[in-house]
Amino acid sequence: MWDIADSSDTVRVRTFVVAIALLAVAFIGQVSVVARLGLPGGRLDLVLVLLAAISLIEGPLVGAVSGFVVGVLADLASSHVLGQSALVMCLVGYAVGLVMDAADRSVAVPLAAIGGASVAGTLGYAATTSIFGAAALTGGEAVVRALVAGVYAVLLTPFVFPLLTAVSRRLSGRLRRGAR
């Protein structure tokens, strides 16, 4: 199962590296720039938006692995239990990757998938925090915050998703989508 590299495409390795690098940059942007903006209503989760978009384009495998790696990195940089956001991000990446095939069908699919991923991810963070640590939010607050994150994600998707699709096409040398 670790034969990712020798399965006839070195493209995959490059995809993993680019995905993880993008998410790491998004993570720093999240804590140093977005978190300081004080957006009305809640927060935009840049990392979840990018992770969902990457999973939607590249599939569950890339989504789960890059989500896990960046999640561990984010956990190391935080003060909560190690592995907590790795778990959530890994699951979000995998789940969004499963609807990869439907993404070509309609514009609404990426919007719904990325918005839904932000809502589910934010709720997941709140849930894992209240299980493994002290509850920082009440249930109602968590739901409101998740919905706000979803709205921001939907607003951001039209900019992020086409850009990442273009990057992915260039990386893969139009192996996948270009064939259609």
Partner 1 sequence: MGRDTRRSRLVIIALLIAAFTLITLDYKTGRSANGARGVVHSALGGVEDGVSAVTRPIGRTVSSLAHPNRYHDRADRLAQDNAGLRRQLADNAEIGRMSKQLGDLRLLADKGQYSVVPAKVIAVGDVTGTDWTVTINAGRDDGVDVDKTVLNADGLVGTVSSATAHTAVVRLACDPNSRVGARLERTQLLGAVAGGQGPSALTFTLYDASFRVQKGDRLVTFGSMDYVAGVPIGVVTKVTDVGGLSRTAEVKPYVSVGTLDLVGVVVGRPATDPGDRLLAPQSVPTQSVPTGSAAQTPGTGTGTTPGTTRPGQGGTG
Give the Cα separation of 90 and 96 in Å (integer).
10
What is the distance, to the nearest Å, from the Cα of residue 23 to the centroid of all Cα atoms in its chain? 8
Size of the site for partner 1 (CB under 8 A): 62
Q: Give yes or no for a contact between 118 and 149, defined as CB atoms under 8 angstroms apart.
A: yes
How many Å apart are CA 134 and CA 84, to the nearest integer? 13
Residues 102-141 that bind partner 1 (CB under 8 A): 122, 125-126, 128-129, 132-137, 141
Work out whether 165 is an interface residue with partner 1 (CB under 8 A). Answer: no
Instruction: Note whether 29 binds partner 1 by CB under 8 A.
Output: yes
Output 43 or 112, the one with its CB closest to partner 1: 43
Q: At what angle do helices 108-132 and 46-58 cross, to 10 degrees?
A: 130
In the list 78, 106, 107, 163, the residue contacting partner 1 (rule: CB under 8 A) is 78
* Choice from 76, 105, 108, 178 touching partner 1 (CB under 8 A): 76
Identify which range of 93-101, 105-113, 151-159, 160-168 contacts partner 1 by CB under 8 A.
93-101
Closest CA to 89 of 116, 52, 144: 52
Question: According to the binding rule CB under 8 A, does residue 143 interact with partner 1?
Answer: no
- Choice between 68 and 161, CB closer to partner 1: 68
Q: What type of residue sits at position 114?
A: I
What would the two tokens of residue 79 be? 């003060």
Q: Among 21, 77, 155, 163, which residue sits at the site for partner 1 (rule: CB under 8 A)? A: 77
Candidates 169, 150, 165, 168; CA nearest to 48 is 150
State yes or no: residue 18 binds partner 1 (CB under 8 A): no
| 17, 23, 29, 32: CA torsion to nearest 10 | -100
Is residue 6 near partner 1 by the rule CB under 8 A?
no
Classify residue 60 as exposed, middle or buried by CB count within 10 Å of its CB (0-12, 13-18, 19+).
middle
Provide the binding-site residues for partner 1, judged by CB under 8 A.
1, 9, 27-33, 35-36, 38, 43, 45, 47, 58-62, 64-65, 68, 71-88, 90-91, 94, 97-98, 100-101, 122, 125-126, 128-129, 132-137, 141, 145, 176
